[in-house]
Amino acid sequence: MASKFQNHLKNHDINYIPMEFDGKKIIFMKQGRSAGTAVWKHTLRPYVYSRNGWSGGQGCTNDDDISKNWLNNVTDDEIKNEYFIFTFTRNPFSRVVSCWGEGNRHSRGMKCSPDFDFFVKNELKTDRDTDGGFHNSHYTPSSVHSEYDDGELFIDWHGKVENIQKDWKILCDKISIPYSEFPHIKSGHTVKHHYKHYYTEELVEIVAHYYKRDLELFNYEF
């Protein structure tokens, strides 16, 4: 029987990176436009591999059966008792603007209107599925990366992009890896202004509705 964790990740098409090194079992719930590439590719991955560890999910770079079949084999008891699960969140109002900027340069298969108002009212709206999620994983709410549909929280800790340097140090302490300053990776997207510049009252209401649970769970506001 598939685990609750497996069903949740597959039903919502969530990016996840399980890893093991130095006797530690860790899962990074990797969200779009939330420093995920910097957290994994530029910091954790080099360290994990330097310790002869392995990773699966989106972080799978080898062909061994453990990495390829990890999600199919992991149990809910293991998820609860053996793994440290974390994610990094971002203010959804800022994240939506960042997604739009990324889509403006037609990156990673994303293609968005150059008009933010049109993007929110039309393209973001039509990307939603019938249960309120999104087909494009870059738009998937942080809450979906953190709790099951019944509200049960499965992550052990979350950091915030807004506090990335401080929270990165906290994470390093929690998983017992050497701390080094978190790298600043330029995304190259076309956003030139603070996210609030792009919003009208109507757009704030729309995005707040789409990401209502994120605002509640992670204490964000416009």
* CA nearest to 117, candidates 49, 46, 181, 206: 206
Confidence of residue 184 (pLDDT cuts 50, 70, 90): confident
In a domain, 158, yes or no: yes
Work out the mean pLDDT of the chain and round it to a whole number: 91
Q: How many domains are contained in the chain?
A: 1
Strand partners, 16: 29
* CA nearest to 162, candidates 220, 78, 83: 220
Confidence of residue 65 (pLDDT cuts 50, 70, 90): low
Q: What is the pLDDT of residue 191?
A: 87
> Do residues 87 and 156 lie in contact, with contact meaning Cβ atoms separated by under 8 Å?
no
In a domain, 100, yes or no: yes
Asked if the model's pLDDT at residue 213 lies above 60, the reply is: yes
Instruction: Check residues 189 and 155 and name the one with the higher pLDDT.
Output: 155
Name which of 56-60, 96-100, 134-138 the model is least confident about.
Answer: 56-60
Residues 6+ apart with CB under 8 A from 43: 168, 180, 182, 183
In a domain, 21, yes or no: yes
In a domain, 161, yes or no: yes
Q: What is the pLDDT of residue 86?
A: 98
pLDDT, mean of residues 18-26:
96
Kindly report the pTM of this predicted structure.
0.94
pLDDT in tens, 104-142: 765 556 778 899 999 999 999 988 887 778 888 889 999
- Residue 111 has a CB neighbour count (10 Å cut-off) of 11
User: What gap in Å lies between CA 9 and CA 12, rounded to an integer?
Assistant: 5
Q: What is the pLDDT of residue 88?
A: 98
User: What gap in Å lies between CA 31 and CA 66, rounded to an integer?
Assistant: 23
Confidence of residue 206 (pLDDT cuts 50, 70, 90): very high
Q: How many CA atoms lie within 13 A of 13 on its CB side?
A: 10
Give the range of the structural domain holding residue 136, as residue numbers without chain letter: 4-217
In a domain, 170, yes or no: yes
In a domain, 222, yes or no: no
* CA nearest to 32, candidates 84, 114, 87: 87
Asked if the model's pLDDT at residue 83 lies above 70, the reply is: yes
pLDDT, mean of residues 191-211:
96
